[in-house]
Chains A and B, each alone.
Chain A
């Protein structure tokens, strides 16, 4: 198949098809959103963005996405590590379960969180007794974001761990390094690019999450309303320009993040 694509005509046709596809699917809608947000000029754009309810929603989203990303970096690294380095019954099954959050409609994920952590559940009831509110408050949003971004870090570090040269690690031990020292100066640096790029993807996905969050967030503007739901509200109340303006904020943020991921990956592969 690869030799086929090396032909000149093929190469040209293939490239232009991809470009066209890319333009129709990604570039056009995004340009559309930018145009829409500035459709009434700079001042309405600025007004939409500087609206207290809007920037509060964006701030809350970024804050919670950062928390979810940090948790993901920590837990994802551990899970990835366990799945690669340990052999135990059920490992393969667990490994294939990792991707499930991608396959599940996120609204179903939200519903499950509501049922499992809600006021009628065991966990929710216990938490309420000790005075912690989960559902309809910030913890639930973080849980929802964690759920939908779960696979990113794991899948980013797994190949790195698998490809790691065993001899480096063995050399470290032979030279008398402790386990901790070996981990932090040999293994961890290998995983770091994976952790970072996984985290960035998780963050971008987290700030855009809608389906899982809308069911469990409470969605009170200024308190528990995240940006994606705010945007939905603006569309529903016939304010496409306001919706687009906030979308542009999120998009620009995501763009910079994905750009950074690309830079990191380029550095890693030395391209």
Chain B
């Protein structure tokens, strides 16, 4: 009996601690929502712009935002402050669609902006903007260890025995769908060259052959890159800008550009419902326009992105070799088609995983 009394006393202290913890957590959350910028209205002529972006642009934005701030101050005399949130693209899209009051959304892919649009937060046709709403381009490439010890040259090398491949899971990371699209599309291209027709069955078996060599299927592009840095795998399938950013930091990876690969397009748009609420439409639209400006575009290229601006792209073309057989999402039939054929419940990706 003595024992059980001791236990009940311990239980009580434990419960007390748990209740206190819960209360603390509650307070924390309340403070956070306050910090999330619901009260970002105009005060003393200042304006707050809430930015919901995908994580990869974080470094570029650290340089871009102060520049836009100066421009806006010069133009209008208004001081703009930023509230920034960087998340994986899909997570960010869900957050905004779920009520995170971002004024502008900068995401990795069209589908994620569509999520926000179908939740009713973006009401204008964002594709009608300049460059179809795309602010940066990149391509899917292969990254290898210093000096490319395995002699990786193209997609076919990834199907060789003993080559360990990394790419993130397209189910948890929307951005990873670009990687899978690239492999699948390269398979289509190959079948087209051999037989003159796009053969989905060939492309699927090609994707399957690459997948058989996958060592780890991480939950995001960043996690995949981190694993590669810890020494996992021989080849990583990822965005060119991610690898360039690493190389710029002094990591000696080799960037291999496959003969045929996909053009990545990262869109950005004003979130109508939130700018109406905050009264920030003007500054939000100016910000999106600024992202398309030559200055911003040059800055993006410094961070490894390919420019959507014709002039900047021409200036930097020696740094960004165009693959011989570059294709874009329309080669696969556009995003709606890709979502249906590749990533639907019993789609090609599922069949590859389940070995069907």
Contact = CB atoms under 8 A, between A and B. Distances in A.
Which of B15, B90, B227 has its CB near the most chain A CB atoms (within 10 A)? Answer: B227
B28 interface: no
A109 interface: no
Contact of A114 (B19, B215, B230): B230
B219 interface: yes
A136 interface: yes
B231 A221 contact: no
A25 B198 CA distance: 55
B104 to A, nearest CB: 23
Interface residues of A, number: 27
A2 B5 contact: yes
Contacts of A193: none
Given A18-B15, A222-B353, A233 B172 contact: yes
A221 B172 contact: no
Contact of B353 (A1, A2, A53, A217): A53
Interface residues of B, number: 26
Interface in A189-232: 214, 217-222, 225, 232
B214 interface: yes
A38 to B, nearest CB: 19
B171 interface: yes
B354 A52 contact: yes
A135 interface: yes
A95 B91 CA distance: 42
29 contacts: A1-B9, A2-B9, A21-B19, A52-B354, A53-B353, A115-B230, A119-B231, A120-B231, A135-B232, A136-B232, A217-B216, A218-B215, A219-B169, A219-B216, A219-B217, A219-B218, A219-B219, A220-B214, A220-B217, A220-B353, A221-B353, A221-B354, A222-B353, A225-B217, A232-B219, A233-B171, A236-B90, A236-B171, A236-B219
Interface of B: 4-5, 9, 15, 19, 90-91, 94, 169, 171-173, 214-219, 227, 230-232, 350, 353-355
Given A136-B232, A217-B216, 14 more contacts: A1-B9, A21-B19, A52-B354, A53-B353, A53-B354, A114-B230, A119-B230, A218-B215, A232-B172, A233-B169, A233-B219, A236-B171, A236-B172, A237-B171
Top 10 A-B residue pairs of the complex, sorted by shortest distance between their CB atoms: A120-B231, A236-B172, A218-B216, A119-B231, A221-B353, A237-B171, A219-B217, A220-B217, A136-B216, A233-B171
